[in-house]
Amino acid sequence: MNKLEKEIDNLIKNFGINREIIREFSKENKLTLKVNNLLITSKYNIEKENERFFNINYDKEIDYFLIIGFGLGYHIDYFLKNIKNNQKIFVLILNPDIFLEFINSNIEKKFIQSENIELVYGNEEILMKKISNILDNTSLKGKIVINSPLFKLSKDYYPKLYDIIDKIMIDKQSLEKDREIVEKNIDANMKTVIESIGVKEYRDKHKNSTIFIISGGPSLNKNINELKNIKNNGVIISVGTVVDILMKNGIKPDYIVVIDPLLNVYNQLENYLQLEIPLVYIPSVNSKLLNHYSGKKIVAFPDKDSYYSKMEEKYNKGLIQTGGSVATTALDFANQLGATNIVFVGQDLALSSNLNTHATGTLLNKEKTNLNNLIEIESVDGKKIYTLKNLYHYLRWIEKYIGENKNIAYIDATEGGAKIKGTKAVKLKEYILNNLNII
């Protein structure tokens, strides 16, 4: 047993996972595997499948490819034979039991000794560190490539890493879908970006304060009127979705946060363009909104993005963690303002009992009657509820953020929705009555 085989064997023993693996052969008589009843390659023509995989994912301008899933190595071998000499492949081994099948098979293995390939494996913590080291190298241009069957199977071994990669790919797909709109927005917004106050100027502006983040989850309908009692005893940050419903209920937020590049964010605020409420935004936000909004504008550059990092170096406005949604962006903004307590309101991160995604009265309110592809999670009251994949990732992002920023007390006053680890669930009325200096 060589060193690599021994390390993989020990990894499997440490995980203690036993999956049913059945050996089969494709029509061209190549070995394939069925794992937990999922075939990891084509059962007809594996070589054609490898060719399609390469053609879809190859980019001659890329320095390296981070390939998610080794499998039996067929697609990796094909990639190596067709990339340029100065390009490199990092391959994540996320199914060690399948890799062991590869080692013990008669499949040609010489390609894994190539200087252009590096196998990445280990326990979940080690893998995440290695992946971070690869992706954090901003001097090189990389591309994440996913083998879908192998990625699906990886959840058995690496559930946390699966969620992280899944979120990255959702963000990537969203960015690619809206890429042209985003680029046009940035170009149209640059004059305003340069003239705007930077988010760094607001650091600790509300030091030691209680900050309420108001999102548009369906539970907002339960307690929206309680927000009137905050008055000047707390700071209210509203996402764009709920500005209309807040204003109609006589609640004026202190800040509005927007990040959406599409026109619907303009539609959310078109009746409130003359407000003197500071608008916190990122450069890719819808340009029509930014152009027509007359109030103060605060710009922030998304962190961990090489494009915005260069923009920050040039304009020095300040970075913000976006987490992929406006509510997660608002969370980091509240932290930067110097909050001692952050109170979530309308942050369901799940569907209501009648499968609504947003509060009644918001433009995004709609019903999700199809339970296919929904994820079952624990509710704030210990029951089981459903959420969408994107909301699930925002939930995990918020929980991770809370774990990394323990200097703040986090209160879940949503009164419904998902259980958010790291928060204390309290009714909004009780929290305001017991914690704010209301006369």
Co-location of 173 and 203 in the same domain: no
- Residue 100: the pLDDT is 92
Co-location of 327 and 397 in the same domain: yes
Provide the domain limits for residue 303.
Answer: 192-435
Asked if residue 363 is part of any domain, the answer here is yes
- List, as one string, the DSSP characters of 318-365: -EE--TTSHHHHHHHHHHHTTEEEEEEES---S--TT-BSS-TTSTT-
- Residue 256: the pLDDT is 98
Q: Which of 126, 150, 177 is the last residue of a domain?
A: 177
- Residue 368: the pLDDT is 47
Q: What pLDDT tens digit does each residue of the chain (439 aa) get?
A: 578 888 888 888 888 888 999 999 999 999 999 999 999 999 999 999 999 999 999 999 889 999 999 999 999 999 999 999 999 999 999 999 999 999 999 888 899 999 999 999 998 888 888 888 887 776 788 888 999 899 999 989 998 888 888 877 777 776 667 778 999 999 999 999 999 999 999 999 999 999 999 999 889 999 999 999 998 899 999 999 999 999 999 999 999 999 999 999 999 999 999 999 999 999 999 999 999 999 999 999 999 787 898 899 999 999 999 988 999 999 999 999 999 999 999 999 988 765 555 555 454 445 444 555 688 899 999 999 888 888 888 999 999 999 999 999 999 999 999 999 999 999 999 999 999 865 4
CATH number at residue 105: 3.40.50
- Residue 176: the pLDDT is 67
Question: SS3 of 118, please?
Answer: strand
Asked if residue 24 is part of any domain, the answer here is no
- Pick the closest to residue 91 from 115, 67, 62, 64 (CA basis): 67
Co-location of 399 and 301 in the same domain: yes
Q: Which residues contact 335 (CB under 8 A, 6 or more apart)?
A: 342, 405, 408
Co-location of 284 and 418 in the same domain: yes
Q: Which of 177, 211, 238 is the last residue of a domain?
A: 177
> Torsion-angle region of residue 316: left (phi > 0), alpha (psi -120 to 50) or beta?
left
- Residue 363: the pLDDT is 46
- Residue 137: the pLDDT is 75
Asked if residue 186 is part of any domain, the answer here is no
Asked if residue 337 is part of any domain, the answer here is yes
Asked if residue 33 is part of any domain, the answer here is no
d(CA 21, CA 315): 55
Asked if residue 10 is part of any domain, the answer here is yes
- Residue 91: the pLDDT is 95
Asked if residue 398 is part of any domain, the answer here is yes
Asked if residue 185 is part of any domain, the answer here is no
For 374, the token pair is 């929904």
Co-location of 166 and 215 in the same domain: no
Co-location of 127 and 154 in the same domain: yes
Co-location of 230 and 330 in the same domain: yes
Co-location of 225 and 358 in the same domain: yes
Q: What are phi and psi of 11, to 5 degrees?
A: -60, -45
Co-location of 219 and 170 in the same domain: no
- Residue 439: the pLDDT is 47
Co-location of 111 and 224 in the same domain: no
d(CA 345, CA 415): 8
For tokens 């280990």, what's the residue?
A: 122
Co-location of 294 and 422 in the same domain: yes
Edge-to-edge strand order for the sheet containing 21-25?
A: 21-25, 31-35, 38-39
- Please report how the helices 179-195 and 306-315 are oriented relative to each other, as an axis angle in degrees rounded to 10: 10
Tally of domains within the chain: 2
Co-location of 153 and 209 in the same domain: no
Q: Which of 143, 177, 211 is the last residue of a domain?
A: 177
CATH number at residue 239: 3.90.1480
- Residue 336: the pLDDT is 98
Dmax (CA) of the chain: 81
